[in-house]
Structure 1
Amino acid sequence: MPSDNSYVNIAAYKFITFNDTVEKRPQFRALCEELDLKGTILLSPEGINLFLAGLRESIDRFLAWLRSDERFADIEVKESYSDRQPFNRMLVKLKREIITMKNPLIQPEKGRAPAVDAKTLKRWLDQGHDDAGKPVVMVDTRNAFEVDVGTFNNTIDYRLEKFSEFPEVIAQHKDDLSGKTVVTFCTGGIRCEKAAIHMQNIGFDSVYQLDGGILKYFEEVGGEHYTGDCFVFDYRTALNPKLEATATVQCFACRAVVTPREQLSPYYIPGKSCPHCRKEMREPAQAA
C-alpha cells in the first residue's frame, strides 16, 4: 500500500474534439504549478494525453478540475506509485496529434475500434482462442526498445523505430493475419487505439485494442502471459507486473535501456556510458 507521502503517478488520454487548446494551455499550466504537479500534458485538436505525478490531494484536485469540463468528465486514469517525484519539470504542450501517426483519417472520437478488457484477454490467452474459436494474435504497437524490456508471449513485434511507421508495416503483413483475431496493445492504450482503428479502415475484420494497455492488464490480472517488465517514460524506466519500479535504467548518453545484468558491465558508468554505447563505438571500426 502507498504511504501518505507516496507520489501518485497518473496516465490518461482521451480522443475528443478540443479546439480551444490555445486558450486552455495557460489554465492547465497555472493549476499544475499551483498544485506542484510535474510531468507532461499534450493538448491537441484530437484530444488530450497526460503523464503527471504529485501527492494524492493534488492529483485528486487536478482530476476534479479536468472532469468539470464535460468533454473529459469520463476520462479514465491509470495509477501507480513511487517514493519520489518521477519527473523533473512540468510541461504543457500544443501538438497536432496526441500520438503521432501522420494519418489524419484516424478520428477515434467518431468511433473506437472494439476493445477487449484485461480479464477477457487473459481468458482468451488461457484457452488459446477467442470466444468464436479464432486464434488470437498479439501485435505490439510500441517502439522496438520498449518491446525489448518486456512484452506478451508470442507477440508480433515489427521492430518499429517510431509509431508513424505502423500503417505501412501493418499493410505489408495483412495477409499474414488473415483469419485470426488481432489484439493490438501498447503501454497505456493510446497507440493501440489508433492502430486498431487504422487496421479496421484498411479491411481487418477482427481486430481489438487492449483496453488500458499493458498497465491496465498488470493492474487487473497481473503478469500472466507476459514476460519481462513494461517500459515507462519517466525516471522509473520500467514497471513490473505489480506496478513496482524495477532495477532497469536508461543510459544518459545514448538513451538505451540497460538491464540489471548489463549494469554489471565495466562499460556501464552511470550518467556517462553503457554497453550499448560501447557496441556503437566498436561497429564502425570492425566494419573498416
Structure 2
Amino acid sequence: MTSTWRIAALYRFATFDDPEAIQADLAKLCCGLKVKGTLLLAREGINGTIAGTPQAIDAVIAHIRTLPGCEALELKFADADHAPFHRLKVKVKAEIVTLGEPDLDPAHNHGVHVDPADWNALIAQDDVIVIDTRNGYEVDCGTFEGAIDPKTPSFADFPAWFDAFRQTWDPAAPAPKVAMFCTGGIRCEKSTALLKARGVEEVFHLKGGILNYLESVPQDESLWRGECFVFDERVAVGHGLSQGTHALCRGCRMPVSEADRASPLYVEGVACPRCHDSRSDDQKARYAERQRQAARALELGIDHVGASLSPKPPREA
C-alpha cells in the first residue's frame, strides 16, 4: 500500500520576537492544508511533529524556513498509511523544550555540533564526560557505552542534577570536556546552552541525536548498546532505524521489553510490571475495555483513537 501521510519531526532554536504572530499564520496555513499534529512556539524557536500529504508538509516546511533563523531547520521524515494525529495544535509556550530555564539562549550560545562520523572518537577520549540527557525510562531501553545516566524523571530535572554532579568535579583539575546526546538533538543542544551558561567551556552534542547516529553509523562500528525509545508508534528502533523489540504499556505509556511482557504482571493494553500495583481495579477495568474496543476496531478495519500510539513532539516537550 502506498503511504498517504508524511510525518515531519522538526525543531530549530531561533529568536522569535513575536511568537503569537507566527502562531496565527502557521495555524491558518496548517488548517487550510489539513495538516495535523502539534507545533510549539516560543521566543527560543519552534519544535513539533506534524503529518499531512507530502505536498502539504512541503508547503508548511517551506513556510517555517522563512521564519527568522529557521533556514537550517532540523528535520526527520517518516511515512504512514493512516492518520497518526486526530487534531492540530499550534501553541505558544515559555520554552519549546521544557528545561525550566527560559532565559537561556540556545540559538546563539550552545556547544559544538559533532557529526555521527566523529562521535566515537570524541567519546573515547579519556578527558571527556559523556552524559545521556534523556529521561530514565528512555535510557533503560539503550544508551551509549560508558555514558552517565542522570536517572531523571523529566528533562526539567536535568539542571538540578547537573549542578549536583558538577560538585563532584575536582576543582584543582582542568575542567573536563562534556559530550551530551538525546533522541533527536533538541534536548542535548539545549543542555549545552545550560552548561555554557554555567561556565563550562568545552561542551559538545551529537548532531541529529541518536536517530542520526543509528541511521549513519554501521552497526559493526557502533558504540550504541540496546534500542532507542522514540515518541511514535514504533516505540523503539535499532541500527538502521529498524523496528525494535519494545512495546508500549497502554496503562502507563512506558516502554516494555520482551522480558517485561513475559511477566505475569503484564496484561496487554492494561498494565505492566512498572505500573501494575499503582493502578486501581477500576482503572484496569477501563483500560481492558479500551483494549477490547481497539481490538474489535482492528478486526473491522476501522480506526480507533486508542488503538495506536500517536507520534508526539519529543519530551523534550
- Distance, in Å, in 1 between the alignment partners of 2:90 and 2:99 is 20
TM-score (normalizing by structure 1): 0.84
Q: For residues 107-122 of structure 1, what are the structure 2 equivalents within 5 Å?
A: 107-122=105-120
Give the Å deviation of 1:98. 0.6
Shift, 1:247, TM fit: 4.0
Q: Give the conservation status (yes or no) of the 8 Å contact 1:185–1:213.
A: yes
Whether 1:164 and 2:162 are equivalent positions in the alignment is no
Tell me the equivalent position of 1:277: 275
Q: Which amino acid aligns with 1:215?
A: L
The reply on whether 1:60 has 2:58 as its aligned counterpart is yes
Asked if the contact 1:231–1:238 (Cα under 8 Å) also holds between the matched residues in 2, the reply is yes
C-alpha contact 1:86 1:236 (8 A) present in aligned 2: no
Alignment partner of 1:203 is 2:203: no
Q: Tell me by how many angstroms 1:177 deviates.
A: 5.4
Candidates 136, 141, 145, aligned match of 2:133? 141
Q: Deviations over 1:217-271 (max 9, x none)?
A: 1222255111122222222222222223434222222222212332233433332
> SS of the residue aligned with 2:9?
strand
Deviations 1:183-240 (A, max 9, x none): 1111111111121122122232322111111112122225511112222222222222
Aligned positions, number: 274
How far does residue 70 in structure 1 lie from its aligned partner after superposition?
4.4
User: Any stretches of 5+ residues in structure 1 without a counterpart?
Assistant: 283-288
Q: Distance in 1 between matches of 2:199 and 2:66?
A: 38
1:84 to 1:151, Cα distance in 2 relative to 1, 3 A: farther
Q: How far apart, in 1, do the equivalents of 2:206 and 2:30 lie?
A: 30
Shift of 1:60: 1.6
Does structure 2 retain, via aligned residues, the 8 Å contact 1:80–1:243?
Answer: no
Partners in 1 of 2:55 and 2:238 — Cα distance?
Answer: 26
- State the alpha-carbon separation in 2 of the partners of residues 169 and 241 from structure 1: 30
Distance 1:56 1:107, change over 3 A: same
The alpha-carbon distance between structure 1 residues 41 and 88, as it changes in their structure 2 partners (threshold 3 A), is same
CA–CA distance in structure 2, aligned partners of residues 270 and 39 of structure 1? 27
Distance of 1:6 and 1:147 partners within structure 2: 33
Q: 1:98 aligns with which of 96, 119, 122?
A: 96
Say which of 217, 226, 229 aligns to 1:228: 226
Over aligned residues, Cα RMSD in angstroms?
2.5
Query: What residue number does 1:30 align with?
Result: 28
Deviations, residues 148-190 of structure 1 (Å, cap 9, x unaligned): 1221111101101121221221122225456532111111111
Q: Greater shift after overlay, 66-75 or 157-166? A: 66-75
Aligned to 2:212: 216
Q: Percent identity?
A: 35
Task: Report the TM-score when normalising by structure 2.
Answer: 0.77
